[in-house]
Amino acid sequence: MGVWNRDLIGRAMKTAQDLAYQAEYQKRLRAAARAAGKAQLNGMVLKRFIDRLDEMRAERGFANRMDALEHVFEVYFDGGDDERKHAVSA
């Protein structure tokens, strides 16, 4: 019975170590993806627009630049629908 318990405890410890390793691995993958996304955005957009996105992120509490950029697109593409429809029908 004692050997069986030690074996079970040993497997549980390995499992805990495996879970900890997987958590660290996932954290590194997410950090690398985040860095790649920032580099990609920085390569496509002028610095002054990045600075504006950062200001908007700080002012409005967005989680990141992409959330701020998504908000800009929503306002730009969806925000003026009523005005455009009114102007066309007039």
**Confidence at 58, pLDDT banded by 50, 70, 90:** very high
pLDDT the model gives residue 84: 53
Query: How far, CA to CA in Å, does 34 sit from each of 40, 54, 63, 83?
Result: 10, 15, 12, 37
Instruction: Note the pLDDT of residue 76.
Output: 85
- Both 32 and 65 in one domain: the answer is no
The count of structural domains within the chain is 2
According to the model, what pLDDT value does residue 86 have?
Answer: 55
pLDDT at 90: 53
Q: How many CB atoms lie within 10 A of CB 53?
A: 21
State whether 70 and 55 are in the same domain: yes
Same domain, 22 and 38: yes
Are the CB atoms for 50 and 65 separated by under 8 Å? yes
Q: Which amino acid is at 9?
A: I
Beta-carbon contacts of 54 under 8 Å, excluding residues fewer than 6 positions away, are 65, 68
Average pLDDT of the chain, as a whole number: 76
- Output the pLDDT for position 23: 86
Look up the domain containing 50 and give its range.
46-90
What pLDDT was estimated at residue 22? 84
